[in-house]
Structure formats: structure tokens, C-alpha cells
Amino acid sequence: EAQVTQNPRYLITVTGKKLTVTCSQNMNHEYMSWYRQDPGLGLRQIYYSMNVEVTDKGDVPEGYKVSRKEKRNFPLILESPSPNQTSLYFCASSLSLGYGYTFGSGTRLTVV
């Protein structure tokens, strides 16, 4: 089944404890992206990647890192999480813009 898989689905962590949210797609898509979704603010792009080793900042990149060492994987790294990073995170991939994104199921992160 063609899909984008994110893990974990739910995570509660403490301020400052480094964490990684994994994202993997099995559709051989070149384009991948991370979004966070907050009430009243909608989906905001954190980082995106056009291909292996090619990434760029979205609208809200502060406090996040990404890497794209393999085509299928695009992990999101929070080096020192803070409470304002409490959010619902979505990973997405696409073959090309016209086909739209396929989104993962989301990761609900709480930083206390």
C-alpha cells in the first residue's frame, strides 16, 4: 500500500530532551515536507526537500532540523524542544506538485 509512515503517533517529552520524528514513504517520491498544524494557524511548513541531500527552510524552521540522506526517509529533529513546539506534525510527500501531497497520519507532540 502506498503510504507515508510517521512515528511515533503520540509523544510527550520534557523541555530540552532531543527527539526525532521519523518519516518514511514507499512511493519513490522526490519531494517531501514537514508541517505543523496549530488551532487558528493552520498548516505551516517547517522544512521541505526536493531530493536527496537537498533541503530548504519553510515558514517556521526555527528549532528544527531535517536530513535527507535517502530518498524514502525525511526525519524531523528537535535538538532542544520547548513548550511552544507542542503541536500536531505532518510529514508529506509528492511525485510532483500537480499530484498534491500524500500526508502521513500525524504525530501529536507535547513538550512539558
Partner 1 sequence: GQNIDQPTEMTATEGAIVQINCTYQTSGFNGLFWYQQHAGEAPTFLSYNVLDGLEEKGRFSSFLSRSKGYSYLLLKELQMKDSASYLCAFDSGGYQKVTFGTGTKLQVIP
Q: Which residues bind partner 1 (CB under 8 A)?
A: 31, 33, 35, 40-45, 48-50, 56, 58-59, 90, 94, 97-106
CB of 15 to partner 1, least distance (A): 27
The residue assigned the cell 507542542 is 86
Q: Which residue, 40 or 112, is less far from partner 1 as judged by CB? A: 40
Q: Which residue, 42 or 69, is less far from partner 1 as judged by CB? A: 42
CB of 48 to partner 1, least distance (A): 5
- From 57, 47, 109, 44, select the one nearest 83 (Cα to Cα): 109
CB of 96 to partner 1, least distance (A): 9
Alpha carbons 96 and 94: distance in angstroms, whole number: 5
CB 22 within 8 A of CB 75: yes
Position 54, amino acid: V
